[in-house]
Structure 1
Amino acid sequence: MSVQLIIAQMVLMVLGLLGIAAARPDLIAEHSWKTALALGITFVVARFRPRVFLKVGPAFWALTLVLLILVLFFGVGTEESSATKRWLDLGGPFRFQPSELAKLGLVMMLASFFSRRGVQNKLVSATVMIVVTTGLIFLEPDLGSSVLMFGLGIILMYAAGVRISNITGFLLALGLMALPLFSVYLEKNPYILARWQGHQSRDTERAIGLDQIGFAHRDLTWGGWWGQGPDGRRYEYFAAHTDMVVASVGFTTGLLGVLTLLFCYWLIVSVSLKTSQLAARIRPMTPEIHGASILATGAMFMIVGQAMVNLAVAAGVFPVTGVPLPLVSFGFSSMLTMSVALGIIHSALREVERNLPETEGRGAENKPPEPEVLGLSAD
């Protein structure tokens, strides 16, 4: 297993515990055992080889689609908006957000698909998978998660070896077709437009959630260089332990803690990119190595892409979206899926390193991947 990834995960989880201890001390016990469980899940998942994830990918993706459909009929909303349906409540502590599992499902499905079929003339099928998954989340409605899901699909296409020109054409065509539907979507969900307009104008009476950003900025300022500790005096505000948890971390640990948090996400990016670079040196590139490379890149974007959106919201760059900070925010659905994603990166790196020594002796380590190698098989 990668020591860098283990350190990054543990430090992020500790920062999350400190932030939640400051924002919601009553939840620290619950978050502690969930954090320990999630860390254990990472170690278990890391033991499997990538071929396991590639094999179960289609079935797991199909299961997440079923869960997303169930949310539309039986889902429950948030405390501030009952119109949105994002969770399945099975009673007691069994409440989870299927959109988080769907991100993992899409990564495994597309990695399985491209590793088995190659990337030549396969865009229609991959596009349908991305659009269906994104569309079901879009209907909840959950605009933030649907945008992240769509971006995840594009990153997976690129990681698989699809040409940039083909991806660009796909985006233009899909964008033109989606414009009429998007206008209807905004009419049915006026809070989205109001939130964006309020964010642009900085009018606190019109902006939904702008007070959260103001409180978050104040906490980050009060944290100073070293922080006030989890027992420091502060005002309570909505989502200080979930969407705005970085402000609680900044208040508790100061600028040093926030920079450490950013460094941990950089470590995740570094290990994932290393996995893809090493995979490109292996000749011949087998379906499992190709799939491992896609899995590592997709899992990385799941974590870091979502983190960047959350941090941009806390900084006031984006309007409030309701996206949690991976491995830090309170909430087991996100914690569980992100921990599994880290386990997948561990698995992919180990598989690539296992196959690397045999191929290095052939003098092929510095050659870039050839297009025909990535098109591994035909229908």
Structure 2
Amino acid sequence: MSVQLIIAQIILMSLGLLGIATAEPDKILDHGGKALIAIVLTLMLARLRPRAFLRVGPWFWGFTLFLLLLVPFIGVGTAESEGTRRWLEFGPVRFQPSELGKLGLVLMLASFFARRGVQKKLISATGMILLTTILVLVQPDLGTSVLMFGLGIILMYAAGVRISNISGLLLAITMMILPLLGTYLERHPYIMSRLTSHKDAEQIREIGLDQIGMAHRDLNFGGLWGQGPDGLRFNYFGEHTDMIVASIGFTSGLLGVAMLLFAYWLIVATALEVAHLASRVRPMTPEIHGASILAIGAMFMIVGQAFVNLCVAAGVFPVTGVPLPLVSYGFSSMLTMSLAMAIIHSAMREVRRHLPEESPDALPLSAD
């Protein structure tokens, strides 16, 4: 297992507990219990070999498609979701299928490319990406669907699809969706409302009246070392804590935000090291190829979503409702991202197992 990944997960979940303790103190025990379950799940599943994830990939992807198909019919929303349906409820169990959909797409494409290769498989892989993305788009959930599509493109690149082929694919898809974009935005006016309000919010933000403005204000109040968890209560963040980075910044200051970014960098560095080591294994077996794709896909699942969340908090992107991975309150996201961490652990151990004995390349903070 990779010690770097364990450190990263502990840092992120500890900062999440700190942020929840400040933003929603009555949820700290619930969040802490779920974080403990997530870590245990990561450590358990990390012992599996990548072939187990690759074999289950098509079945898990099919199951997530079924759940996504159910959402428009029996799904539920929240008071803040403006009439959208993104959740499924079965008794006391409530979860967001789109979170599982990201993981399903990673497992399916890794399994597909490992078994079939990348030659002349672009159309089939594109169909899988578009099908999953469209099912999320109709909920509607534009932010997650864009992340889903970007995840699919990254997986293609990680599998070895040529940049020229990917560029041609993107151009063709853009030409197809442009005529439909206007109709989609008309049917879901809240999307345009968010975009226009984000564009016109600069004057409001200057006096700190909107959500992002208040987040900036409290990040500034945090200073270098923070004000501690007994300071201002962030009741304007709500239970989803999309702006939880502001709570962390207020409580632990610039130091806490730097630790947050450092933890995500550890995840990126570990996944890229998996891909580098996999490229040195000879012969390149389907399992090693699949392990490399799994690691890059799981990494982008986590870090890509973190990038969007932090850009929202910085005011660069409009509010999307995308949680901060392994930090924000919410079990669906935490569970899925913990599974992604287990996949990177598994991939790292597998490529190390197949390295030639004379190749000592290894992360100094990793151990089996």
Counterpart for residue 132 of structure 1: 131
Gaps of 5+ in 2: 362-368
RMSD over aligned Cα atoms: 1.8
Q: Deviations over 1:120-177 (max 9, x none)?
A: 0000100000000000000000000000000000000000000000000000001100
Task: After TM superposition, give the deviation of residue 236 of structure 1 in Å.
Answer: 2.1
Gaps of 5+ in 1: 366-379
The answer (yes or no) to whether the contact 2:69–2:135 under 8 Å persists in 1 is yes
Counterpart for residue 86 of structure 1: 86
1:17 aligned onto 2:17: yes
Q: Deviations over 1:21-70 (max 9, x none)?
A: 00011000000100000000000110100000000000000000000011
Q: State the SS of the aligned residue for 1:95.
A: strand
Amino acid at match of 2:238: A
Residues 150-169 of structure 1 aligned to structure 2 (within 5 Å): 150-169=149-168
Counterpart for residue 345 of structure 1: 344
Task: After TM superposition, give the deviation of residue 239 of structure 1 in Å.
Answer: 3.4
Equivalents in 1 of 2:131, 2:74: separation in Å?
19
Equivalents in 1 of 2:154, 2:98: separation in Å?
18
Scaled by the length of structure 1, what TM-score is found?
0.92
Amino acid at match of 2:278: A
Scaled by the length of structure 2, what TM-score is found?
0.95
Counterpart for residue 40 of structure 2: 40
Residues 165-184 of structure 1 aligned to structure 2 (within 5 Å): 165-184=164-183
The answer (yes or no) to whether the contact 1:228–1:253 under 8 Å persists in 2 is yes
Q: How many residues align?
A: 359
Q: CA 1:74 to 1:82, structure 2 compared with 1: closer, same or farther past 3 Å?
A: farther
Equivalents in 1 of 2:189, 2:199: separation in Å?
16
Task: After TM superposition, give the deviation of residue 357 of structure 1 in Å.
Answer: 2.4
Residues 361-372 of structure 1 aligned to structure 2 (within 5 Å): none
Q: State the SS of the aligned residue for 1:237.
A: helix
Q: State the SS of the aligned residue for 2:356.
A: helix
Q: Deviations over 1:62-109 (max 9, x none)?
A: 0000000111111111222351111001232x1000000000000000
1:76 aligned onto 2:76: yes
Q: State the SS of the aligned residue for 1:326.
A: coil
The answer (yes or no) to whether the contact 2:86–2:96 under 8 Å persists in 1 is yes
Q: CA 1:155 to 1:359, structure 2 compared with 1: closer, same or farther past 3 Å?
A: farther
Residues 314-353 of structure 1 aligned to structure 2 (within 5 Å): 314-353=313-352
Equivalents in 1 of 2:324, 2:237: separation in Å?
15
The answer (yes or no) to whether the contact 1:11–1:264 under 8 Å persists in 2 is yes
Equivalents in 2 of 1:240, 1:89: separation in Å?
18
Equivalents in 2 of 1:314, 1:240: separation in Å?
16
Q: CA 1:14 to 1:331, structure 2 compared with 1: closer, same or farther past 3 Å?
A: same
Amino acid at match of 1:69: L
Amino acid at match of 1:349: M
Task: After TM superposition, give the deviation of residue 335 of structure 1 in Å.
Answer: 0.2
Counterpart for residue 114 of structure 2: 115
Q: State the SS of the aligned residue for 1:89.
A: strand
